[in-house]
Amino acid sequence: MKINVITMFPEYFEGPLDVSIVARGIEDGALVVVLHDLREHGLGRHRQLDDSPFGGGPGMVMMIEPMAAALEPLRDTHRVLFTPSGAPMSQETLDRWAQIDDVTFVCGRYEGVDQRVIDNFIDEEASLGDYVLAGGEVAAAAAIEGVARLLPGVVGNPESTEKESFRDCLLEEPVYTRPADFQGWAVPEVLLSGDHGRIEEWRSQRRLERTRQRRPDLLRNGKDSDT
Ligand code: ADE
């Protein structure tokens, strides 16, 4: 899979691309990430990227010329703009993007992006959540990491991406490892019992209980709403 990223801050991605699963995916050749510096398409001596909004109002708007220059050669890719006005990203969104060979993540900045960019160059707008960040870079980094771990061969044990939270509309159960007792804080007895039937029953109850308490919306929306 190839991911293009259009950003004013390519240096932002140095950290996220260089560690853990994403670094491994790139090293193994499962993932190619190409950073495109929007500033290279900036206008004039100052490489201007933004201007004040028509009709007045606070803040600056990203101009169409630099965006068009960066996006025109990427027309064959699936182009996603990160903005708080986009559809919230979910596991389903990442599953879908991971099936596409060539995607482009566009990081918005300032108060917004000229609507003509969105109307003519963008296939989909996505948000990291209902809060405003300074730009789309964090969302793009999150999407790259979320997608990278879905690519074949990137995560050692494919079961760990199949069984995890959100696939079955339930949160994960609590997990424990050695020691069985730390300063009097004991691991639930059932997990030491060796009785796999009881363990599975306990895990499934904890998943349901947690989801009811923390994310009842998942139970209402999910296919498992009758459980
Ligand atoms: N840019 C600014 N805020 C954002 C958000 N919540 N999601 C995606 N991109 C953003």
Q: Domain range holding 191?
A: 163-222
For residue range 3-31, list pLDDT tens digits in order.
999 999 999 999 999 999 999 999 999 99
39 phi and psi angles, rounded to 5 deg: -55, -30
Would 153 be classed as within a structural domain? no
The verdict on 144 and 170 lying in the same domain is: no
Looking at residue 97, its pLDDT comes to 98
Ligand 1 mutation target, pool 118, 125, 133, most atoms within 8 A of CB: 133
No. of helices (H) and no. of strands (E), the chain:
9, 10
Looking at residue 149, its pLDDT comes to 96
- 131 Cβ below 6 A of ligand 1: yes
Residue 205: count of CB within 10 angstroms of its CB = 11
Looking at residue 163, its pLDDT comes to 64
Q: Domain holding 193: CATH number?
A: 1.10.1270.20
Percentage of the chain modeled with pLDDT above 90: 88
Tell how far the Cα of 226 is from the centroid of ligand 1, in angstroms. Answer: 34
Would 158 be classed as within a structural domain? no
Looking at residue 227, its pLDDT comes to 40
Q: Kindly give, in sequence order, each residue whose CB lies less than 8 Å from that of residue 176, ignoring residues fewer than 6 positions away.
A: 187, 188, 191
Four-CA torsion 5, 6, 9, 10, nearest 10 degrees: 40
The verdict on 139 and 47 lying in the same domain is: yes
Maximum CA extent, the chain: 71
Tell how far the Cα of 111 is from the centroid of ligand 1, in angstroms. Answer: 11
* Residue showing tokens 């690519």: 151
Would 26 be classed as within a structural domain? yes
Looking at residue 223, its pLDDT comes to 53
At residue 57, does pLDDT exceed 60? Answer: yes
CA–CA separation, 203 vs 157, rounded Å?
20
Q: Are 199 and 211 in contact (CB under 8 A)?
A: no
- Confidence at 226, pLDDT banded by 50, 70, 90: very low
Sheet holding 50-51, edge to edge: 50-51, 61-62, 112-113
Domain boundary among 148, 178, 196: 148
Looking at residue 25, its pLDDT comes to 96
Domain count, the chain: 2
For residue range 166-176, list pLDDT tens digits in order.
767 899 999 99
- 127 Cβ below 6 A of ligand 1: yes
Tell how far the Cα of 82 is from the centroid of ligand 1, in angstroms. Answer: 6
Q: Are 4 and 104 in contact (CB under 8 A)?
A: yes
Tell how far the Cα of 129 is from the centroid of ligand 1, in angstroms. Answer: 7
CA–CA separation, 167 vs 156, rounded Å?
18
CA–CA separation, 83 vs 89, rounded Å?
11
**DSSP symbol at 98:** H
At residue 222, does pLDDT exceed 70? Answer: no
- 108 Cβ below 6 A of ligand 1: yes
The verdict on 97 and 138 lying in the same domain is: yes
Percentage of the chain modeled with pLDDT above 70: 95
End-to-end CA distance of the chain: 37
Looking at residue 158, its pLDDT comes to 74
Q: Domain holding 52: CATH number?
A: 3.40.1280.10
For residue range 177-202, list pLDDT tens digits in order.
999 999 999 999 999 999 999 999 99
